[in-house]
Amino acid sequence: MATTTLTKAARNRQRHGLTFNPVRPAWKEPASPLYSSIKAVILGLISLSIIIPILLVVSTSLADDKQLVAAGGYVLWPTNPTFDSYKAIFSGQFMIRALGVSAFITAVGTFLALFVTVTMAYATSRPVLLGRPVLMMVLFTLLFAPGLIPMFLMVKQLGLLNTIWSLILPGTFGAFNFVVMRSFFMNIPTELIEAARIDGASDFMILRKIVLPLSKAVIAVVGLFYAVGFWNAFFNAMLYINDQTLYPVQLILRNFVVQGGSMAEQIGVTSTPPPQSMQMAVVVIALLPILIVYPFIQKHFNKGVITGAIKG
């Protein structure tokens, strides 16, 4: 009976242009031409929906005044590309200083956040250390956020207002990243850790010599999550920073979009390129560092996130 059923299934696959291989599972067999064509069209449309807005931003930042007026404000392909907007933005020291502030916040914040997340994830993944109470407190923060006013009062009481540390310390721990990293650590074979402990290794040595080398993928993924969060953050700067010399680049981008020409005067722009071109140039400057770093870490996403999310 099983042979008859199998023969019918193989006959149906041959009728639809599919070959049956009893050794390979069904989901690993080659897809039909129709299915491949539909998938290619869908992926092509998704890619265009991502590429076209980026191309629109870059092209508008390079377009001159005449082409912007003729196109109604946004250009898909500049006929006479010019870098006047970029030259105007970097004519003063304001944007360079903002890039330095954002780079410092991202580098220091990502390092501190990874240190706190790795140590807490390892401690709660081992029953002999902190255990369930700390884990429940961390998961509690996923359900109940502290709120805007308590966070502002805490930063004020700590004396962090109008300092660069007010943009770093509140974001040094993320409960979601903690859960991902803890799940990854729990999948590390306990035999390795027990053998190292029998040999006299301390928990810090086990973390440094065994756990961290086996966790490069998830550390890269979580580190990118933290880095993107620190780089893109501007709301904390609006709340805690009054000194314009401490503005990150994302806050300048927000002010450019909201204030337009008045913001250009505040940062000391001498020439007056079109406002749309200036706004898009700031967007490109804000996006470029992440676009450069992301391709080098993207290959770790599947291994890091999937392995950390699936037990066994």
Asked whether residue 20 is domain-assigned, the answer is no
Same domain? For 43 and 136 the reply is no
How buried is 56 (Cβ within 10 angstroms: 0-12 exposed, 13-18 middle, 19+ buried)?
middle
Asked whether residue 170 is domain-assigned, the answer is yes
Asked whether residue 190 is domain-assigned, the answer is yes
Same domain? For 166 and 300 the reply is yes
| Final residue belonging to a domain, choices 62, 82, 102 | 82
Same domain? For 187 and 54 the reply is no
CA 267/CA 95 separation, integer angstroms: 8
| Final residue belonging to a domain, choices 65, 82, 99 | 82
Quickly list DSSP for 46-112. Answer: HHHHHHHHHHHHHHHHH--HHHHHHHTS--SS-SS---HHHHHHTTSSHHHHHHHHHHHHHHHHHHH
**Domain containing 162 — which CATH number?**
1.10.3720.10
Domain that holds residue 107: 88-309
Same domain? For 201 and 291 the reply is yes
- pLDDT tens for 75-89 read 778 888 888 778 877
Same domain? For 149 and 270 the reply is yes
- pLDDT tens for 26-53 read 556 676 788 788 888 999 999 989 888 8
pLDDT of amino acid 5: 47
Asked whether residue 57 is domain-assigned, the answer is yes
CA 224/CA 197 separation, integer angstroms: 32
How buried is 71 (Cβ within 10 angstroms: 0-12 exposed, 13-18 middle, 19+ buried)?
middle
Average pLDDT score over residue span 11-27:
54
The H or E element spanning position 19 is none
| Final residue belonging to a domain, choices 82, 108, 125 | 82
Q: What percent of the chain has pLDDT over 90?
A: 6
Lowest mean pLDDT among 45-54, 123-132, 193-202, 213-222: 123-132
Asked whether residue 7 is domain-assigned, the answer is no
DSSP secondary structure code for residue 302 in this structure: I
Same domain? For 72 and 101 the reply is no
pTM over 0.95: no
Q: Is the Cβ–Cβ distance between 209 and 231 less than 8 Å?
A: no
Same domain? For 144 and 238 the reply is yes
Same domain? For 64 and 139 the reply is no
Same domain? For 31 and 92 the reply is no
Q: Is the Cβ–Cβ distance between 195 and 206 less than 8 Å?
A: no
3-class DSSP assignment, residue 266: helix
Q: Is the Cβ–Cβ distance between 307 and 221 less than 8 Å?
A: no
Same domain? For 108 and 252 the reply is yes
CA 45/CA 42 separation, integer angstroms: 5
